[in-house]
């Protein structure tokens, strides 16, 4: 009879009314991988002509390549600034980007649009789950 040892890691993160669950089991699971996830796209009353992105690493390591976040809407897109790449955050620590001006997406004042943010869109970081790298939300520009 062969006994198999199972290791279970469960991570819950509550962000912007969403719950992200990350789990892996058995001793050959993705125990040393990054899992980058966008958790929110939002504006601030102090800077309503820009959006900010919250993101988290649901993996259990911060080892890997730096990355960009790409923003897109039906009116335009911005692939990020290669001179300002993001480092992989410590696991389960939610991070916030600086301001992305909505002009980059050709969004005019008093207009709304669905904005999609895609983390590590270049695929530079080996992740345990590549299917959760995009997040979309309707944003209104004042």
CA 38 to chain centre: 2
Supply the pTM of this predicted model: 0.79
Contact present, 48 and 59 (Cβ < 8 Å)? no
State pLDDT tens for residues 16-66: 555 555 554 433 344 689 999 999 999 999 999 999 999 999 999 999 999
pLDDT of residue 20: 56
Average pLDDT over residues 68-96: 96
Tell me which CATH code domain 31-141 carries. 2.60.40.10
Reduce the secondary structure of 121-134 to three states and give it as a string: CCCCCCECCHHHCE
């Amino acid at each position: 009879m062969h006994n198999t040892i199972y290791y279970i890691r469960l991570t819950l993160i509550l962000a912007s009314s969403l719950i992200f669950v990350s789990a892996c089991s058995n001793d050959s699971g993705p125990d040393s991988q990054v899992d980058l996830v966008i958790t929110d796209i939002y504006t601030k009353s102090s800077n309503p002509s820009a959006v900010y992105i919250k993101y988290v690493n649901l993996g259990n390591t911060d080892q890997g390549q730096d990355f960009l976040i790409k923003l897109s809407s039906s009116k335009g897109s911005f692939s990020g600034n290669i001179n300002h790449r993001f480092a992989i955050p410590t696991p389960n620590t939610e991070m916030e980007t600086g301001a992305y001006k909505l002009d980059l997406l050709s969004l005019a004042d008093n207009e709304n649009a669905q904005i999609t943010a895609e983390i590590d869109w270049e695929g530079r970081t080996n992740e345990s789950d590549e299917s959760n790298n995009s997040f979309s939300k309707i944003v209104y520009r004042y």
